[in-house]
Structure 1
Amino acid sequence: MPTINYHAKLKVLAAVRGHPFDRNAYAALFDEMEGISVTFVDQPAASLLLRPELVDDFDVLLLYDMPGVDFHCETPGIPAPSDERLRAGLPALLERGIGVVATHHAMSGWPDWPGYAEIIGGRFLYRPGELRGKARPDSGYRHQVEYMAHVVAPDHPVMAGIPASFPLKDELYLAEVFEDDVIPLLRSDYSFVRDNFFSATEAMQGRMFSNEGWEHEPGSNLIGWVKRAGKSPLVYLQPGDDEVTYNNPVYRHLIENAIRWTASPAAHDWARA
């Protein structure tokens, strides 16, 4: 595949909010990315910007948000309704073509909209729900896991300059991954089995770090992939929970590669093919 142009000047719209994070530490992640400017817009306002005209002002859409999950109702973690303007605007934007980099908790977004999981390539479920016509249990989480990430597509431009294996300390998910629909980039050496994770629903019910009574079959160890989203190239990277990962130089390089590749003509040609 073609190499990345590191001299291109790129504009990124970053949709954030919906999950606690250190805003200053996250913003610093981009400080040394020469020629890349990032505009942060909080949800829910960001969802109203996700329409075809966004391409006129930005090269890449960065998703570090978790919209559409209600944590403040009687049953925390249930889906909140997605706006009809978003359901129309985002697919139209993706059909026009824009680079998309989705990270970490973005795969939890808009659980009431099946199409959003198809865009991302998977879903983290805070509550049991239906996905692709099947009943699925709530997903699992585990904070501050120390593991090795292994590159499985060394020739892909997003992996340019990334070591074949590198350590991370980050949150991992036992979640739904549509492996057949994506191109794998990164896998974790952690064991994605029920006993190594905690139930998201238990956490929503005030019992953090519990998997009592929760059942979940073994899941995918895929933590990074590439896919087509309409006519747009999309990269999803599961790492990115906090400043420990933000400050990891390999992770910074990975995010920069993802931004530059998804903005490239080669990536857009690939997505349209």
Structure 2
Amino acid sequence: EHFADAWSYADVPLSTNAGDFTRRGQLRYFALNLGKSGALSKIVLESFDTEIVPATVAITAGTEPVASAPPSRPAAGTAQADAPQGPKDGGKGDAPLPETKPIVWAPGKAKVLIIAGGSSHDFGRFFGATDSATLSAAGFSVNYTEDRDQAAAELAQADVAVISVNRQFFDTPAYRKALFDFAAKGKGLVMLHPGTWYGFPNWPELNATIVGGGARGHDRIAAFTVNAVKPDHPVMKGVPPSFEVEDELYYVNAEPEKIPPGTAPIEVLAETSPSVKFKKPHPAVWTTAHPAARIVGIALGHDERVHDHQAFKTLLVNAVGWAAGSTP
């Protein structure tokens, strides 16, 4: 038997990825060679050991055996320069793309670019206005964008990128290259809330090398506790050893067997109280091992109940400062 995972890309005999058509999961070709000749009266499609039922788009039949399914898409993390791109304003469920404003940096300050936008969150209000105000008050020069082209063009000018984007089709070849070049140059990254999600299934390297894994689900919004694991780390300076938030409890790296091989290790700085689903704690704040960049992951941050929380504000300021190299 051969199994192709629904999240990571692993082509197996007679099954390959069909292309970048879906936001989550993937569309795959499957082929089956019948063992003998005869009349085919019924086809039964079943899922293996799961309650999730895949949608079948089409079934074709032929008289000749096949050696493999049709050729797969380009290698994960790559994209042809002339490949068609989805619309800049995203897809179904994404909020309208706001007006793109010019990037202006204040002299003499560490430059922070917040890259956000997409679905399920009031990005402009919380990740834009609130977080920008928090970081500006701490002495950073802050700009905010939800435009994938502007993000790709301006990343190189920033010292730290705070990424909380889940807009469909954001991961263009230009943006992918700009982000990985940014990390390779030793810049700072803070992956915030939706930025820690497995949100770009056709770009698995983002989670593997930058996030250090990620979340595929969460509890419903409810109160839970965040507990410091490494209270002496600079990111945790001034943060209470334990504090309560009302938020989505992300299942970060909840199922180790589903973490793709080669995913960068993380150092957990703070963890949640046990989730309702898994009955165990999950990483809430961490650093991701990277050969050049300083990377912090923060799973918290759905709405004002977190962004206005003093402990979160302290975490965010500390994370950006550490990622910028302001602290050892």
- Aligning the two structures, in what range does the TM-score lie when normalised by the shorter sequence? 0.5 to 0.7
Match of 2:187 among 95, 98, 121: 98
Matched, 1:113 2:197: no
Tell me the distance in 1 between the aligned counterparts of 2:126 and 2:211. Answer: 25
Tell me the distance in 2 between the aligned counterparts of 1:156 and 1:192. Answer: 28
Matched, 1:263 2:327: no
Tell me the distance in 2 between the aligned counterparts of 1:143 and 1:248. Answer: 19
CA contact (8 A) 2:223 2:247 kept: yes
Alpha-carbon offset, residue 22 of structure 1: 5.0
Tell me the distance in 2 between the aligned counterparts of 1:41 and 1:81. Answer: 12
1:62 matched to which residue of 2? 162
Alpha-carbon offset, residue 89 of structure 1: 2.7
User: Structure 1 residues 24 and 185, CA, compared in 2 at 3 Å: closer, same or farther?
Assistant: same
Matched, 1:163 2:208: no
| CA-atom RMSD in angstroms | 2.5
Alpha-carbon offset, residue 46 of structure 1: 4.5
Alpha-carbon offset, residue 102 of structure 1: 0.9
| Residue deviations 1:140-193 (CA, integer Å, cap 9, x gap) | 222322011000001100000111111111112234366970011111113352
| Residue deviations 1:83-136 (CA, integer Å, cap 9, x gap) | 222333322221111111111011234221111111111133xxxxxxxxxxxx
CA contact (8 A) 2:188 2:294 kept: yes
Q: List 4+ stretches of structure 1 deviating above 3 A.
A: 175-180
2:218 matched to which residue of 1? 141
2:114 matched to which residue of 1? 14
User: Structure 1 residues 170 and 263, CA, compared in 2 at 3 Å: closer, same or farther?
Assistant: same
Q: How many residue pairs were aligned? A: 208
Report the identity percentage.
25
The DSSP-based 3-state class of the residue aligned with 1:255 is helix
Tell me the distance in 2 between the aligned counterparts of 1:190 and 1:85. Answer: 39
Q: Which structure would you say has the larger RCO, counting Cα contacts within 8 Å and 6 or more residues apart?
A: 1
Listed as ranges, the matches of 1:29-108 within 5 Å are 29-32=131-134, 33-49=137-153, 54=156, 57-67=157-167, 69=168, 80=169, 82-108=171-197
Tell me the distance in 2 between the aligned counterparts of 1:106 and 1:50. Answer: 18
Q: Which runs of 5+ in 1 are unaligned?
A: 1-7, 70-79, 125-138, 195-217, 268-273
Using structure 2 for the length normalisation, give the TM-score: 0.57
The DSSP-based 3-state class of the residue aligned with 1:29 is helix
CA contact (8 A) 2:190 2:320 kept: yes
- Write 1 or 2 for the structure with the bigger share of helix: 1
1:235 matched to which residue of 2? 296
User: Structure 1 residues 266 and 244, CA, compared in 2 at 3 Å: closer, same or farther?
Assistant: closer
